[in-house]
Structure 1
């Protein structure tokens, strides 16, 4: 009789990526807007995945709660303030010294709800599914975390996983984290951010900014990407406009990874059927290998300013 482990799986799979995106983009979750019951459902889902994978919380709590001031349409003065949170966990490294150094993998889980000031469509009152932005990054975060958990004995450095809230409201979750970090910021050696990684094109181009912010980063990301059959478009700077910016501003090395823009960005039409699941799996393997290699080496890591 063959006994299958149903709790943890080493391989990143298209099936699991799809299942995560299906949940995140479901009409029930109403576009993953900050605050409210839908936000709590998504947070609970991510928290339960962390727990299932043996990813530990800091101080016994996966949730880092904060207040978010929401964007409003022009002409509306009063900005609502809601309670939302980041979901944070970690895998401890094995080296007695290097385990005090951290690599962060992050992705924002929120989206635009039923439309609003950040939308590129005039539709209101309909679900903005945000399959690529950023259910793709959140699903990738969970799948990469699962594979890293299966290789935890190889890790010298520790790895922190953060699902950020309220990114669409102005990077609020990542800003809150760097102002209230769970470990000293000086011990974070690299932050890798996944934002819109579900639409790999036929040329297999993976775009990234910030590769020059850590030693040898540009060559490393180029060589690794090509070895995996990808065509990395690597920028030393071009740090860009997602949650990794909050870390860069604190003098932390970053990689902001995405697969490019598209007409469905910030519209209700950003849906699961347009996600390239095979391509997203390839991007996940790329990021997994990046973190595994940087977390399992003794090579010194330090910040290089690209401004």
Structure 2
């Protein structure tokens, strides 16, 4: 009981103070901020961030507050999610941020950066915190957004940041977005998705699918490995398994980035103690480098379908 009370107090403190600390966007991705975000998102008191719950809405408010504090909040997109277990319908949201590019023409070309924030809830008395799946990706979205905002003056293209709801129920948040886009869908030139980026292994492998869906993608993603101290495992296709699929199915170039499977996947042991936070900082700097290489350049961006 005492540990549960302490956990609740920690959750409340993090919820109150975390967004306040981001009034000024920082130019570096830090381990401490990353840890703070994941400690909130994967806290026992959030009961696994299941769609339709009070705790799920607390996450939505946290994300909105963080985007607002960084001056990038754009929209809260409400939708109805049909749950796998009992086929019931619940209300949940996509949380959207926007950072405008500076080029008069290219600012109308959008790069989407996304991650889902929901997880599996509570099953048979066990809390499925989903620290890697996908508190790691949600925290990554917040940290990358903050760094991009701090360097907004460098952008040519614009960045749309989306925290998707109800991914675990069948990619529902991303499916809703592409069917009800808040911007013209044909303006989106690339979608970068981060799902489970907190388990960088000893070989520093970062895995991705979809690098062949835009010109020069394979070469770009490979070339950024050494400067960021990671070893990319780059696939031209292999587009499956997470929210980027919804975009690919609409003829949009994608990158689905992760650090691989592990024994804690979809288990109650997927907790922050089992993450490699130092490794995730490397992964985030790698993703940021790729994002900025595209967003600050005039390189051609077009969709290239893959088998």
Residue 65 (str. 1) matches residue 78 (str. 2)? yes
1:121 aligned partner:
none
Q: Deviations over 1:79-110 (max 9, x none)?
A: 11000010011001111111110000000000
1:100 aligned partner:
108
Instruction: Report deviation, 1:216.
Output: 0.5
List gaps (5 residues or longer) in structure 1: 73-77, 116-123
Q: Deviations over 1:33-80 (max 9, x none)?
A: 0012111100000001101111141xxxx21000000011xxxxx511
Alignment match of 1:88 (pick from 90, 96, 107):
96
1:119 aligned partner:
none
- Across the aligned residues of Structure 1 and Structure 2, the Cα RMSD in angstroms comes to 1.2
**Runs of 4+, deviation exceeding 3 Å:** 4-7
Q: Could you say which structure has the higher helix fraction?
A: 2
Secondary structure of the 1:127 match is: strand
Q: How many residues align?
A: 287
| Aligned partners of 2:99 and 2:149 also within 8 Å | yes
Q: Deviations over 1:169-226 (max 9, x none)?
A: 0000000000011111111000000000000000000000000000010011001122
In structure 2, distance between residues paired with 1:21 and 1:227:
26
Bigger shift: residues 7-16 or 206-215: 7-16
Instruction: Report deviation, 1:293.
Output: 1.2
In structure 2, distance between residues paired with 1:275 and 1:201:
10
Q: What are the within-5 Å matches in structure 2 for residues 141-290 of structure 1? A: 141-290=141-290
1:31 aligned partner:
48
List gaps (5 residues or longer) in structure 2: 1-20
Residue 19 (str. 1) matches residue 32 (str. 2)? no
Secondary structure of the 2:61 match is: helix
| Aligned partners of 2:22 and 2:70 also within 8 Å | no
In structure 2, distance between residues paired with 1:5 and 1:64:
23
Secondary structure of the 1:182 match is: coil
Length-normalised TM-score, structure 2: 0.92
In structure 1, distance between residues paired with 2:146 and 2:164:
18
In structure 2, distance between residues paired with 1:182 and 1:138:
20
